[in-house]
């Protein structure tokens, strides 16, 4: 039986991927006068906020010249317009899982720069017992899962991850963690074939199905 449920944020708890893309586009356009297209931006996803922004601008993510403060300002300005709420029932589900005795964690490619504003906006403060953020150099969710196992003294079989990206499936399987492939965001259709080819343990097309599945898996 699973002891902990770990969630991704973007595309899993809220339809925030379009928000992220638009924030990067507007920030880069301000700096360069050229607005990058979706594909140009998305190719760097997996890296954290600083990693994506640095790659788009050709600036080292640790450089003081990186306009991360401006990016966060744009992100927060757009949040109530592009992603005002999480998926319906998300907060209620998280509280239900905690009431069932499960430990909850968040492992996201975001850094705290944008992770914390989204947690606040979605009314999820204090729900996650452990949060693992991303790094600007690479997708590190497998490393964060290993850190979580060590911190909570759990094995891979104790943990269930919920995430939407093909890379989520690959990195979970790399460390032996089972995954529910979240295919309910508007952006999920473009990755259906790739996700299915990676054989996630579970795949759901509607957020409303998640509570029922987890209830079955923890019995």
| Predicted confidence (pLDDT) per residue in 162-188, tens digit | 999 999 999 999 999 999 999 998 877
**pTM (global) more than 0.75:** yes
Q: What percent of the chain has pLDDT over 70?
A: 100
pLDDT at position 78 is: 98
State both tokens at 42. Answer: 């998305």
- Residues whose CB falls within 8 Å of the CB of residue 33, separated by 6 or more in sequence, listed in order: none
The mean pLDDT value for 59-63 works out to 98
Q: Is 84 exposed, middle or buried (CB count within 10 Å of its CB: 0-12, 13-18, 19+)? A: exposed
The mean pLDDT value for 31-49 works out to 97
State both tokens at 199. Answer: 């054989």
Band the pLDDT of 191: cuts 50, 70, 90: confident
**pLDDT exceeds cutoff 80 at 15:** yes
pLDDT at position 188 is: 74
- Return left, alpha or beta for 7; rule: phi > 0 is left, psi -120 to 50 is alpha, else beta: beta
């Amino acid at each position: 039986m699973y002891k902990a449920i770990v969630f991704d944020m973007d595309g899993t708890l809220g339809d925030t991927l379009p928000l992220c893309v638009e924030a990067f586009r507007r920030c880069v356009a301000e700096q360069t006068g050229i607005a990058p297209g979706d594909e140009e931006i998305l190719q760097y996803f997996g890296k954290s906020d600083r990693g994506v922004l640095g790659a788009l601008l050709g600036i080292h993510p640790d450089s003081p010249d990186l306009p991360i403060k401006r990016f966060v300002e744009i992100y927060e300005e757009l949040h109530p317009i592009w992603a005002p709420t999480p998926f319906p029932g998300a907060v209620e589900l998280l509280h239900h899982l905690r009431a069932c005795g499960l430990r909850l964690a968040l492992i996201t490619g975001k850094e705290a720069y944008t992770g914390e504003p989204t947690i606040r906006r979605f009314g999820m403060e204090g729900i996650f017992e452990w949060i693992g953020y991303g790094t600007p150099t690479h997708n590190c969710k497998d490393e964060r899962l290993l850190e979580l196992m060590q911190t909570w003294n759990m094995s891979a079989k104790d943990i269930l991850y919920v995430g939407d990206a093909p890379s989520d499936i690959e990195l979970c399987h790399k460390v032996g963690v089972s995954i529910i492939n979240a295919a309910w965001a508007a952006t999920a259709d473009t990755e259906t074939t790739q996700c299915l080819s990676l054989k996630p343990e579970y795949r759901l097309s509607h957020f409303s199905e998640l509570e029922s599945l987890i209830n079955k898996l923890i019995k």
